Structures are given as structure tokens and as C-alpha cells.
Structure 1
Amino acid sequence: MAYGEHNYAVSVQWTGNRGSGTSGYREYGRDHVISAGTKPAIAGSSDAAFLGDASRWNPEDLLVASASACHKLWYLHLCADAGVVVLEYLDNAEGTMLDSKEQGRFSQIVLRPHVVILAGGNVELAEHLHHTAHEKCYIANSVNFPILCEPVITTKA
């Protein structure tokens, strides 16, 4: 693992100008394209509740996805190091955002990973490693709201 400073550069290009720019709150689209180097572009918008396109990713979706993916990556790393063989991993994560006229903020994200490990594996250790993954997760360590984890561990031959 490479320790030290890591930098991440992305571009967000607004594509929602309908011909009159931001001449009025309802006059412009919220669509944008997120890109980073040669990676596939992500079609983004705001949440439909904020006049966005529900078929595109919104920042709130991406925040929940980032927390879930970061936790999963740390968890798989820790399991590999500990000899816990993970066969399947599916997280149905949910974030809760509170919105008011003054400001909006996330109040929590709940991760609900369903992990299948190889039969005969240490289920207790597999469950405990979620706690360690949470402690190491870069996203969880960077936000000012709780990220909870409610794992389910099952086995399969």
C-alpha cells in the first residue's frame, strides 16, 4: 500500500443550458457529466426532488455509493489478509438527507452488506472485520455524520 498524499482530479461539466442559461430557477437543466481521465463518463443531475433527471446519478447517490464501495474494498482487503474467503458481497446501502430552506445535510448512511463466505470460515471474524473496515474507510473518516453497518454473514460451500 502506498502511504502519503493522494490527489483525485475530476471534471464536472454542466450540460443543462437550455438556451437562456440560468435566467430563472426553472429555466435551466441540472444535467452534467462527470469525468476523470480515461474513465467512463458518469451522467449526472440533481435529485428529481430538485428538478433533476431521475435517470441520472445525483451527488447524494454518489455519496452513498462512495461510502458503500469504500467499506467493501476495505472489508475484502481485511478478509483476504485474515484468511476469510468471501464468495459474494452485496450491499443495499441507504442514506438519509435532511433538507430545509437554510441548508441540507446527510444525517446518516446505513450499510447493509450481505456477505457470503466459504463454508467452514470464521463467521464471527467475518462479522468483526466490518468494524475494522469502518475504522479504516477513508469516506467514513471524512464525513461529519454516522455511517452505520448492519452486516449479514452466511456461508456457502
Structure 2
Amino acid sequence: MSTYTATIRWKRDPGTDFSRGQYSRAHEWVFDGLTVPASPSPHIVPAPWHKLDAVDPEEAFVASLASCHMLFFVDLARRAGHVVDSYVDEAEGTLEKRDDGKMWISAVVLRPQVVWGGDAPDEAAIAKLHHDAHEQCFIANSVTTKVTIEQ
């Protein structure tokens, strides 16, 4: 068993009207000594209470799924004897309201663009690599969000 940690840091600016919700939600995520600026989504919290040049939890969720998939895909390709030169994924998540009124990320679409070194595998082999990567991805196995892979 492994454990993973993250430190979340937020501090109220004393010059804001906290009781009226007029305060910055900008904060920091710290992972293994790396500090990442974080903020709520501008789709959720209006300006000026978010920070546009920071990662929001919804983006991080999408990135986590996409990153996990990529890591497994590249390793599975290597194990199958293929060479991956690059992998770029313009992943997208959809936030919507459930029937019970709660918001959730209902779907994530991965759009991996793979550049192969040498001979590329055929489409069936690539589809199998994506299927197997999805099946093995720890993050995908941890969520109920529908994950689709578009090639």
C-alpha cells in the first residue's frame, strides 16, 4: 500500500469582507516541495475572487486522469516493443448538474496525439493500448466519471 499527500494553503486577506463572501479563494497546493498556484474555477467563483493563472480542482481532476492514462499508455507501448516519441493530450472535462442537484464532472474526453518512433502499431494495436491503459489507470479506477478516448 502507498499513501500520497498534498498540502493545501489558504489565508484570508484581512482587508476583504469575508462575511459577505468577498475574499480571494486563491490558494496553493504543495506536492513534494513543489508549490502550484490554485484557485476555484472562474466558471464557479466570479472575478475578482478567483485567480485565472492558477489551476482549479476541476482542471486538476481532468489532468490527473489524462496524466495517469498517458503514463500507462507509454509504458504499455514500450513493453509491446514500440517507441513513443511524444504524446500530447488536449483533454476536456464536462461539469454538469446531476439529477439530485449536485454538480459533478460527468465525463472526461481524452484526445491523445501520439508520435511514434519507427513503425507505428496498427489502429487495432493502438486501440488495445488505450483500452489497457484505461483499465490499469489508478485514477480511472477510482472514479465514476465516464472517460472516453478519441483518437
Fold equivalence (TM over 0.5): yes
Partner of 2:91: 93
Matched, 1:43 2:37: yes
Shift of 1:103: 2.1
Shift of 1:77: 0.9
In 1, the alpha carbon distance for the partners of 2:32 and 2:130 equals 32
Equivalent position amino acid for 1:74 in 2: F
Local SS of the residue matching 1:88: strand
2:19 to 19, 23, 27: 23
Partner of 1:114: 113
Partner of 2:3: 7
Equivalent position amino acid for 2:77 in 1: C
Shift of 1:18: 4.4
Partner of 1:155: none
Partner of 2:76: 78
In 1, the alpha carbon distance for the partners of 2:6 and 2:111 equals 29
CA RMSD of aligned residues (A): 1.9
Partner of 1:105: 104
Local SS of the residue matching 1:129: helix
CA contact (8 A) 1:14 1:30 kept: yes
CA contact (8 A) 1:109 1:148 kept: yes
In 2, the alpha carbon distance for the partners of 1:14 and 1:104 equals 23
2:29 to 15, 29, 34: 34
1:31-53, Cα deviation, whole Å (9 max, x unpaired): 10000232x20000001121322
How high is the sequence identity, in percent, across the aligned residues? Answer: 33
Equivalent position amino acid for 2:20 in 1: G
Partner of 1:132: 132
TM-score by length of 1: 0.84
Uncovered stretches (5+) of structure 1, i.e. residues with no partner: 152-157
Shift of 1:117: 1.2
CA contact (8 A) 1:32 1:45 kept: yes
Report how many aligned residue pairs link the two structures.
145
Equivalent position amino acid for 1:73 in 2: L
Uncovered stretches (5+) of structure 2, i.e. residues with no partner: none
Shift of 1:28: 1.1
